[in-house]
Amino acid sequence: MRATGSKIAAEGRGPVPTTTRPEHGRRPRAGAAGGSEQPAPSVNRAQLFTAESGDARLARQQRRAEKFQLRSDLRRFAKRKAVQLCGSRVCSSSGVGVRVTETASGRRAGFAGLSTCGSPWVCPVCASKVSASRAEDLSTVLNNVRAAGYDLAMVTLTVRHSAQDSLRDVWSAVSRGWGRVTSGKAWLDDKRRFEIPGWVKAVEVTHGKNGWHVHLHSVIAYRGTPADATALGQRIFGRWQAGLKATKKHKGFTALPGYGVDVSVSEQGDLGNLGRYLSKQGADLSGVSREVTQGAQKVARGGNRTPFQIARDLVAHGTAVDRAIFAEWQDVAPGHRQVSWAKGFREQFGVEVEATDEEIAAEETGTVDDTVCVLPAEEWQKVKHRSWELLDVAETRGSAGLLKWLDSWGVGWRPAPKRAEISR
């Protein structure tokens, strides 16, 4: 790892790699490009966590460093400029603010004034933040749905595919299939018969020897018995098959009975495949890191790899095959929604406003009052490649320890407003 030989490693903290914002403390970005930090209201997500032990803190910091390291390593393969600059470019005229916040779960450190890409598909850091936020919304809505007396059916839909099928073609077929499932007279009949107030779905994509595997995880709220859920699934599968057929503009696909649809009834507290998918992508604040650390060793079901596993292998080995696969992924995935809701369903059950991926990724730790110091743009260049270490020091040693660490490395800083009393 790149961190080997650093001061932190030498002090027994263990080797951990590179860069940027932590996972806690949801907050809109304070200040636009060329501006300065401004306070903004936020939802305190730290209230959702209990105080962490020292071992838990070290494990969290390790996961954060691994995600930042992969983001840094992927810059040379990224096609979008925003992804290349994510967590690296200074977008505030005042410089990069370093914040230290005391939360219910412990001390958290983060940066303000850095650009973010907001890509849940290509950037492991933004993917973790976005998935965590989406999972939080999902939990809120589905808990309220249960409280209103509805049942939950988990429905997973898949298509047959081959290595010759492009990602664009398979994804397009899946989108058309779902559109057929949730439209027309048959769907309206289902809504009345099963008293369906709405649904939420997520797209999961893996790649293996048979090419791109795109499948949908959905949760449908209804009233009835498990047998009713099975009947609903059978009706859905008929429309799913019809929606996969070829059109003048689109290649046709098929789904096998017994394999193309999987229906299960939610147990209390279980979000099914959709919840597990979001968790794997980062909703538990560690999922992406597991993808990173296990990389080539951990594979998706059936020997498939997730896009971040492919990215890990690309960084490690740089094969032409993985380069082509990841390039196709970058061409097709951006622009698609990670999670989609039936119209009005999310708002009806407790989440009135849905932030965009970019807004979630730009949320910063704490408030402007938590800013310990500001690093001018030229000073940020000295430390950006070890910024994960800066955050570790701030969380472990506090504000005074952070400033001493910056001095020891010759990094210039300015006292933040209301923090001028902290001396060197």
pLDDT per residue as tens digits for the range 288-325: 223 332 333 334 555 889 999 999 999 999 999 999 99
Residue 7 — very low, low, confident or very high, per pLDDT cuts 50/70/90? Answer: very low
In terms of phi and psi (left: phi > 0; alpha: psi -120 to 50; beta: otherwise), the region of 64 is alpha
Residue 286 has pLDDT above 50, yes or no: no
User: What's residue 24's pLDDT?
Assistant: 39
Which tokens hold the place of 391?
Answer: 């955050």
Higher pLDDT, 373 or 295: 373
Residue 416 — very low, low, confident or very high, per pLDDT cuts 50/70/90? Answer: confident
Which tokens hold the place of 250?
Answer: 């689109």
Longest dimension (CA), the chain: 71
Residue 149 has pLDDT above 80, yes or no: yes
Global pTM exceeds 0.85: no
The packing angle between helices 54-74 and 387-408, to 10°, is 100
Amino acid (one-letter) located at 320: A
Residue 407 has pLDDT above 70, yes or no: yes
User: What's residue 178's pLDDT?
Assistant: 97
User: What's residue 20's pLDDT?
Assistant: 36
Span 152-168, average pLDDT:
94
| Least trusted range by pLDDT, from 15-29, 56-70, 347-361, 386-400 | 15-29
Amino acid (one-letter) located at 36: S
What pLDDT digit, counting tens, does each position of 35-86 carry? 334 333 333 444 444 677 888 889 999 999 999 999 999 999 999 999 999 9
| Contact by Cβ (8 Å): 113, 90 | yes
User: What's residue 12's pLDDT?
Assistant: 35
What pLDDT digit, counting tens, does each position of 183-239 carry? 999 999 999 999 999 999 999 999 999 999 999 989 999 999 999 999 999 999 999
Residue 377 has pLDDT above 70, yes or no: yes
Tell me the average pLDDT of the chain.
82
In angstroms, the CA 391 to CA 371 distance is 13
